[in-house]
Structure 1
Protein backbone atom coordinates (compact mmCIF):
# COMPACT_ATOMS: atom_id res chain seq x y z
CA UNK A 1 0.00 0.00 0.00
CA UNK A 2 1.36 3.15 -0.99
CA UNK A 3 0.24 6.62 -0.09
CA UNK A 4 -0.65 8.93 -2.93
CA UNK A 5 1.31 12.14 -2.99
CA UNK A 6 -0.49 15.31 -1.84
CA UNK A 7 -1.05 17.93 -4.47
CA UNK A 8 -0.87 21.26 -2.61
CA UNK A 9 -1.09 24.32 -4.82
CA UNK A 10 -1.37 27.46 -2.72
CA UNK A 11 -1.14 29.85 -5.66
CA UNK A 12 -4.04 28.68 -7.72
CA UNK A 13 -7.35 30.33 -6.65
CA UNK A 14 -10.48 28.38 -6.55
CA UNK A 15 -13.13 29.30 -9.06
CA UNK A 16 -15.90 30.23 -6.52
CA UNK A 17 -13.78 32.19 -4.05
CA UNK A 18 -13.13 35.13 -6.41
CA UNK A 19 -16.84 35.64 -6.98
CA UNK A 20 -17.60 35.39 -3.24
CA UNK A 21 -14.93 37.97 -2.47
CA UNK A 22 -16.35 40.37 -5.03
CA UNK A 23 -19.86 39.98 -3.60
CA UNK A 24 -18.62 40.55 -0.05
CA UNK A 25 -16.68 43.61 -1.18
CA UNK A 26 -19.82 45.02 -2.85
CA UNK A 27 -21.91 44.40 0.27
CA UNK A 28 -19.24 46.10 2.39
CA UNK A 29 -19.19 49.16 0.11
CA UNK A 30 -23.01 49.43 0.19
CA UNK A 31 -23.09 49.13 4.00
CA UNK A 32 -20.33 51.74 4.30
CA UNK A 33 -22.35 54.16 2.13
CA UNK A 34 -25.49 53.56 4.23
CA UNK A 35 -23.59 54.16 7.49
CA UNK A 36 -21.97 57.31 6.04
CA UNK A 37 -25.42 58.65 5.04
CA UNK A 38 -26.87 57.96 8.50
CA UNK A 39 -23.84 59.59 10.10
CA UNK A 40 -24.41 62.75 8.03
CA UNK A 41 -28.10 62.80 9.05
CA UNK A 42 -27.24 62.40 12.73
CA UNK A 43 -24.60 65.10 12.45
CA UNK A 44 -27.17 67.55 10.99
CA UNK A 45 -29.71 66.67 13.68
CA UNK A 46 -27.12 67.16 16.40
CA UNK A 47 -26.26 70.59 14.96
CA UNK A 48 -29.97 71.55 15.03
CA UNK A 49 -30.29 70.46 18.67
CA UNK A 50 -27.14 72.33 19.64
CA UNK A 51 -28.57 75.47 18.01
CA UNK A 52 -31.80 75.03 19.98
CA UNK A 53 -29.88 74.59 23.24
CA UNK A 54 -27.80 77.66 22.43
CA UNK A 55 -30.93 79.73 21.72
CA UNK A 56 -32.53 78.53 24.94
CA UNK A 57 -29.45 79.49 26.95
CA UNK A 58 -29.44 82.93 25.33
CA UNK A 59 -33.11 83.39 26.25
CA UNK A 60 -32.42 82.29 29.81
CA UNK A 61 -29.55 84.76 30.19
CA UNK A 62 -31.25 87.78 28.71
CA UNK A 63 -32.21 90.59 31.03
CA UNK A 64 -35.92 90.86 31.61
CA UNK A 65 -37.54 94.22 32.23
CA UNK A 66 -38.61 94.63 35.81
CA UNK A 67 -39.98 97.17 38.20
CA UNK A 68 -37.39 98.83 40.30
CA UNK A 69 -38.06 99.15 43.99
CA UNK A 70 -37.72 102.93 43.79
CA UNK A 71 -40.70 103.30 41.45
CA UNK A 72 -43.82 104.31 43.35
CA UNK A 73 -47.09 103.18 41.77
CA UNK A 74 -49.32 106.01 40.63
CA UNK A 75 -52.41 106.97 42.60
CA UNK A 76 -54.55 105.56 39.80
CA UNK A 77 -52.76 102.20 39.98
CA UNK A 78 -53.10 102.11 43.76
CA UNK A 79 -56.83 102.81 43.51
CA UNK A 80 -57.19 100.05 40.91
CA UNK A 81 -55.33 97.64 43.20
CA UNK A 82 -57.63 98.51 46.11
CA UNK A 83 -60.70 97.86 43.95
CA UNK A 84 -59.26 94.54 42.75
CA UNK A 85 -58.50 93.48 46.32
CA UNK A 86 -62.04 94.40 47.39
CA UNK A 87 -63.46 92.22 44.61
CA UNK A 88 -61.18 89.34 45.63
CA UNK A 89 -62.31 89.71 49.24
CA UNK A 90 -65.95 89.51 48.18
CA UNK A 91 -65.34 86.48 45.97
CA UNK A 92 -63.57 84.62 48.74
CA UNK A 93 -66.54 84.87 51.10
CA UNK A 94 -68.96 81.98 51.60
CA UNK A 95 -72.07 83.58 50.14
CA UNK A 96 -73.98 80.31 49.74
CA UNK A 97 -73.65 79.46 53.43
CA UNK A 98 -74.89 82.93 54.44
CA UNK A 99 -78.00 82.68 52.25
CA UNK A 100 -78.69 79.09 53.34
CA UNK A 101 -78.39 80.02 57.02
CA UNK A 102 -80.71 83.03 56.73
CA UNK A 103 -83.26 81.05 54.70
CA UNK A 104 -83.18 78.20 57.21
CA UNK A 105 -83.98 80.62 60.07
CA UNK A 106 -87.17 81.86 58.37
CA UNK A 107 -90.42 80.09 59.25
CA UNK A 108 -94.16 80.71 58.71
CA UNK A 109 -94.21 83.50 61.32
CA UNK A 110 -91.50 85.58 59.62
CA UNK A 111 -91.35 87.16 56.16
CA UNK A 112 -87.95 88.22 54.91
CA UNK A 113 -88.09 91.57 53.07
CA UNK A 114 -84.43 92.42 52.65
CA UNK A 115 -80.92 91.10 53.13
CA UNK A 116 -77.98 93.50 52.77
CA UNK A 117 -74.56 91.89 53.28
CA UNK A 118 -71.59 94.24 53.65
CA UNK A 119 -68.59 92.16 52.60
CA UNK A 120 -66.03 94.76 53.60
CA UNK A 121 -67.41 95.32 57.12
CA UNK A 122 -68.54 91.67 57.48
CA UNK A 123 -71.96 92.88 58.61
CA UNK A 124 -75.37 91.69 57.46
CA UNK A 125 -78.58 93.70 57.75
CA UNK A 126 -81.80 91.68 57.68
CA UNK A 127 -85.20 93.35 57.30
CA UNK A 128 -88.53 91.65 57.57
CA UNK A 129 -91.92 91.31 59.20
CA UNK A 130 -93.09 88.96 61.91
CA UNK A 131 -96.65 88.04 62.82
CA UNK A 132 -95.96 88.50 66.52
CA UNK A 133 -93.15 89.20 68.99
CA UNK A 134 -92.61 85.53 69.88
CA UNK A 135 -92.05 84.69 66.20
CA UNK A 136 -89.50 87.52 65.93
CA UNK A 137 -87.62 86.37 69.05
CA UNK A 138 -87.54 82.77 67.77
CA UNK A 139 -86.19 84.03 64.43
CA UNK A 140 -83.43 85.98 66.22
CA UNK A 141 -82.52 82.86 68.20
CA UNK A 142 -82.31 80.75 65.04
CA UNK A 143 -80.13 83.38 63.34
CA UNK A 144 -77.78 83.42 66.34
CA UNK A 145 -77.40 79.63 66.17
CA UNK A 146 -76.27 79.58 62.51
CA UNK A 147 -72.64 78.98 61.52
CA UNK A 148 -72.26 82.18 59.52
CA UNK A 149 -73.84 84.77 61.84
CA UNK A 150 -73.02 85.85 65.36
CA UNK A 151 -73.78 88.84 67.62
CA UNK A 152 -77.30 89.12 66.20
CA UNK A 153 -78.97 92.33 67.44
CA UNK A 154 -82.43 93.75 66.91
CA UNK A 155 -81.77 97.30 65.71
CA UNK A 156 -85.36 98.48 65.29
CA UNK A 157 -88.93 97.22 65.36
CA UNK A 158 -92.41 98.71 65.04
CA UNK A 159 -95.97 97.52 64.73
CA UNK A 160 -97.45 98.43 61.35
CA UNK A 161 -100.82 99.81 62.35
CA UNK A 162 -101.95 100.57 58.83
CA UNK A 163 -102.04 96.84 58.02
CA UNK A 164 -105.11 94.93 59.31
CA UNK A 165 -102.92 92.00 60.44
CA UNK A 166 -100.64 94.43 62.34
CA UNK A 167 -97.30 92.77 61.54
CA UNK A 168 -94.16 93.62 63.46
CA UNK A 169 -91.59 95.21 61.09
CA UNK A 170 -88.00 94.69 62.21
CA UNK A 171 -84.39 95.35 61.29
CA UNK A 172 -81.60 93.04 62.50
CA UNK A 173 -77.85 93.60 62.38
CA UNK A 174 -75.47 90.62 62.63
CA UNK A 175 -71.74 89.97 62.38
CA UNK A 176 -70.93 87.83 59.34
CA UNK A 177 -68.45 85.06 60.09
CA UNK A 178 -66.98 83.64 56.91
CA UNK A 179 -65.45 80.31 57.90
CA UNK A 180 -64.98 77.37 55.52
Structure 2
Protein backbone atom coordinates (compact mmCIF):
# COMPACT_ATOMS: atom_id res chain seq x y z
CA UNK A 1 0.00 0.00 0.00
CA UNK A 2 1.46 3.21 -1.08
CA UNK A 3 0.65 6.71 -0.05
CA UNK A 4 -0.32 8.97 -2.87
CA UNK A 5 -0.84 12.65 -2.88
CA UNK A 6 -2.82 14.33 -5.58
CA UNK A 7 -2.02 18.05 -5.54
CA UNK A 8 -4.46 18.87 -8.29
CA UNK A 9 -7.53 17.85 -6.34
CA UNK A 10 -9.75 20.29 -4.42
CA UNK A 11 -9.75 20.53 -0.66
CA UNK A 12 -12.53 18.78 1.12
CA UNK A 13 -14.97 21.29 2.59
CA UNK A 14 -17.02 20.28 5.63
CA UNK A 15 -20.45 21.40 4.45
CA UNK A 16 -22.20 20.56 7.70
CA UNK A 17 -19.90 22.79 9.84
CA UNK A 18 -20.06 25.65 7.32
CA UNK A 19 -23.87 25.49 7.27
CA UNK A 20 -23.98 25.45 11.05
CA UNK A 21 -21.69 28.50 11.36
CA UNK A 22 -23.56 30.37 8.67
CA UNK A 23 -26.95 29.60 10.28
CA UNK A 24 -25.72 30.62 13.74
CA UNK A 25 -24.32 33.88 12.39
CA UNK A 26 -27.59 34.54 10.59
CA UNK A 27 -29.60 33.96 13.78
CA UNK A 28 -27.29 36.23 15.85
CA UNK A 29 -27.39 39.00 13.28
CA UNK A 30 -31.19 38.69 13.03
CA UNK A 31 -31.48 38.96 16.83
CA UNK A 32 -29.26 42.07 16.84
CA UNK A 33 -31.38 43.56 14.05
CA UNK A 34 -34.59 42.89 15.98
CA UNK A 35 -33.10 44.45 19.14
CA UNK A 36 -31.96 47.51 17.19
CA UNK A 37 -35.38 47.90 15.60
CA UNK A 38 -37.10 47.55 18.98
CA UNK A 39 -34.71 50.12 20.53
CA UNK A 40 -35.26 52.51 17.61
CA UNK A 41 -39.05 52.19 17.92
CA UNK A 42 -38.86 52.75 21.68
CA UNK A 43 -36.67 55.85 21.20
CA UNK A 44 -39.05 57.15 18.53
CA UNK A 45 -42.12 56.77 20.79
CA UNK A 46 -40.25 58.38 23.70
CA UNK A 47 -39.23 61.31 21.49
CA UNK A 48 -42.82 61.76 20.35
CA UNK A 49 -43.98 61.75 23.99
CA UNK A 50 -41.36 64.39 24.91
CA UNK A 51 -42.37 66.55 21.97
CA UNK A 52 -46.03 66.43 23.05
CA UNK A 53 -45.03 67.40 26.62
CA UNK A 54 -42.88 70.30 25.37
CA UNK A 55 -45.77 71.58 23.24
CA UNK A 56 -48.13 71.33 26.24
CA UNK A 57 -45.64 73.17 28.50
CA UNK A 58 -45.19 75.91 25.90
CA UNK A 59 -48.95 76.36 25.76
CA UNK A 60 -49.13 76.56 29.55
CA UNK A 61 -46.35 79.13 29.52
CA UNK A 62 -48.15 81.26 26.95
CA UNK A 63 -51.38 81.08 28.94
CA UNK A 64 -49.75 81.96 32.27
CA UNK A 65 -47.92 85.12 31.25
CA UNK A 66 -47.61 87.44 34.23
CA UNK A 67 -50.00 90.33 34.45
CA UNK A 68 -48.47 93.79 34.27
CA UNK A 69 -47.81 95.38 37.66
CA UNK A 70 -49.12 98.83 38.38
CA UNK A 71 -46.68 101.61 39.22
CA UNK A 72 -48.07 101.87 42.75
CA UNK A 73 -47.60 98.16 43.41
CA UNK A 74 -44.11 98.28 41.86
CA UNK A 75 -43.15 101.10 44.22
CA UNK A 76 -44.47 99.13 47.19
CA UNK A 77 -42.50 96.07 46.09
CA UNK A 78 -39.32 98.14 45.71
CA UNK A 79 -39.85 99.63 49.17
CA UNK A 80 -40.23 96.16 50.68
CA UNK A 81 -37.12 95.00 48.79
CA UNK A 82 -35.05 97.88 50.15
CA UNK A 83 -36.32 97.21 53.66
CA UNK A 84 -35.34 93.55 53.37
CA UNK A 85 -31.95 94.49 51.96
CA UNK A 86 -31.37 96.93 54.83
CA UNK A 87 -32.31 94.27 57.38
CA UNK A 88 -30.02 91.76 55.68
CA UNK A 89 -27.10 94.22 55.75
CA UNK A 90 -27.73 94.93 59.42
CA UNK A 91 -27.80 91.23 60.17
CA UNK A 92 -24.60 90.64 58.19
CA UNK A 93 -22.61 93.11 60.33
CA UNK A 94 -20.36 91.46 62.95
CA UNK A 95 -21.26 93.28 66.14
CA UNK A 96 -19.08 91.07 68.31
CA UNK A 97 -15.97 92.12 66.36
CA UNK A 98 -16.87 95.82 66.69
CA UNK A 99 -17.63 95.52 70.41
CA UNK A 100 -14.35 93.69 71.00
CA UNK A 101 -12.49 96.36 69.05
CA UNK A 102 -14.13 99.23 70.99
CA UNK A 103 -13.51 97.42 74.28
CA UNK A 104 -9.78 97.14 73.54
CA UNK A 105 -9.68 100.88 72.79
CA UNK A 106 -11.34 101.90 76.09
CA UNK A 107 -8.78 103.27 78.55
CA UNK A 108 -9.04 102.73 82.31
CA UNK A 109 -11.66 105.00 83.86
CA UNK A 110 -14.02 105.13 80.86
CA UNK A 111 -17.22 103.16 80.49
CA UNK A 112 -19.80 103.14 77.72
CA UNK A 113 -23.50 103.20 78.48
CA UNK A 114 -25.02 102.94 75.01
CA UNK A 115 -24.27 102.28 71.35
CA UNK A 116 -26.70 103.55 68.70
CA UNK A 117 -26.00 102.55 65.08
CA UNK A 118 -27.23 104.59 62.12
CA UNK A 119 -26.87 102.34 59.09
CA UNK A 120 -28.05 104.97 56.62
CA UNK A 121 -25.31 107.43 57.63
CA UNK A 122 -22.70 104.74 58.38
CA UNK A 123 -22.20 106.10 61.91
CA UNK A 124 -22.20 104.80 65.46
CA UNK A 125 -23.23 107.00 68.41
CA UNK A 126 -21.42 106.20 71.69
CA UNK A 127 -22.43 107.60 75.08
CA UNK A 128 -20.65 107.01 78.34
CA UNK A 129 -18.81 108.41 81.33
CA UNK A 130 -15.14 109.16 81.98
CA UNK A 131 -13.54 109.81 85.38
CA UNK A 132 -11.84 112.90 84.09
CA UNK A 133 -10.69 114.88 81.10
CA UNK A 134 -7.47 112.83 80.77
CA UNK A 135 -9.39 109.56 80.33
CA UNK A 136 -11.75 111.14 77.80
CA UNK A 137 -8.79 112.56 75.86
CA UNK A 138 -7.08 109.13 75.94
CA UNK A 139 -10.24 107.55 74.50
CA UNK A 140 -10.43 110.16 71.72
CA UNK A 141 -6.74 109.67 70.90
CA UNK A 142 -7.10 105.89 70.71
CA UNK A 143 -10.19 106.15 68.51
CA UNK A 144 -8.36 108.55 66.18
CA UNK A 145 -5.45 106.11 65.92
CA UNK A 146 -7.85 103.27 65.07
CA UNK A 147 -9.25 102.84 61.56
CA UNK A 148 -12.37 104.97 62.03
CA UNK A 149 -12.58 107.69 59.37
CA UNK A 150 -13.88 110.44 61.69
CA UNK A 151 -14.44 110.73 65.43
CA UNK A 152 -16.62 113.61 66.63
CA UNK A 153 -17.24 114.68 70.22
CA UNK A 154 -20.89 115.70 70.18
CA UNK A 155 -21.28 116.72 73.81
CA UNK A 156 -19.71 116.54 77.23
CA UNK A 157 -20.90 117.62 80.64
CA UNK A 158 -19.86 117.22 84.24
CA UNK A 159 -22.17 114.94 86.22
CA UNK A 160 -22.18 113.40 89.67
CA UNK A 161 -22.27 109.60 89.73
CA UNK A 162 -22.39 107.08 92.57
CA UNK A 163 -19.25 105.04 93.06
CA UNK A 164 -21.05 101.94 94.40
CA UNK A 165 -19.65 102.30 97.93
CA UNK A 166 -22.09 104.91 99.10
CA UNK A 167 -20.08 107.87 97.85
CA UNK A 168 -20.33 110.12 94.86
CA UNK A 169 -17.73 111.62 92.58
CA UNK A 170 -17.62 113.93 89.59
CA UNK A 171 -17.33 112.50 86.08
CA UNK A 172 -17.61 113.61 82.47
CA UNK A 173 -20.61 112.34 80.58
CA UNK A 174 -19.89 112.35 76.84
CA UNK A 175 -21.41 111.55 73.48
CA UNK A 176 -19.25 110.55 70.47
CA UNK A 177 -20.10 109.87 66.83
CA UNK A 178 -17.88 107.49 64.85
CA UNK A 179 -18.07 107.47 61.07
CA UNK A 180 -16.93 104.63 58.81
CA UNK A 181 -17.98 101.86 61.14
CA UNK A 182 -20.19 99.75 58.89
1:172 equivalenced with 2:175 (yes/no)? yes
1:148 corresponds to: 148
Contact in 2 for aligned 1:153/1:172 (Cα 8 Å)? yes
Unmatched tracts of structure 2, length 5 or more: 1-5
Q: CA deviation at 1:47?
A: 3.8
Contact in 2 for aligned 1:160/1:167 (Cα 8 Å)? yes
Contact in 1 for aligned 2:110/2:135 (Cα 8 Å)? yes
TM-score scaled by structure 2? 0.69
Task: Tell me, in whole angstroms, the C-alpha distance in 1 between the residues paired with 2:82 and 2:21.
Answer: 86
The aligned length equals: 171
Contact in 2 for aligned 1:158/1:168 (Cα 8 Å)? yes
Going from structure 1 to structure 2, the CA distance change for 1:100 and 1:59 (only over 3 Å counts) comes to farther
Q: CA deviation at 1:149?
A: 5.2
The residue correspondences of 1:6-155 to structure 2 (distance < 5 A) are 16-49=14-47, 51-52=49-50, 55-56=53-54, 59=57, 62-63=61-62, 65-66=65-66, 68=68, 70-73=70-73, 77=77, 79-91=79-91, 93=93, 95-148=95-148, 150-155=150-155
Q: CA deviation at 1:39?
A: 3.1
Task: Tell me, in whole angstroms, the C-alpha distance in 1 between the residues paired with 2:72 and 2:178.
Answer: 37
Contact in 1 for aligned 2:133/2:172 (Cα 8 Å)? no
Q: Deviations over 1:2-57 (max 9, x none)?
A: xxx9997x9xxx68314422442233123212332133124313542464366457
Task: Tell me, in whole angstroms, the C-alpha distance in 2 between the residues paired with 1:81 and 1:22.
Answer: 80
Contact in 2 for aligned 1:154/1:170 (Cα 8 Å)? no
TM-score scaled by structure 1? 0.69
Residue aligned with 1:160, SS: strand
Q: CA deviation at 1:136?
A: 0.9
Q: CA deviation at 1:137?
A: 1.0
Contact in 2 for aligned 1:129/1:167 (Cα 8 Å)? no
Q: CA deviation at 1:141?
A: 1.7
Residue aligned with 1:68, SS: coil
Task: Tell me, in whole angstroms, the C-alpha distance in 2 between the residues paired with 1:144 and 1:6.
Answer: 116
Unmatched tracts of structure 1, length 5 or more: none
2:3 corresponds to: none
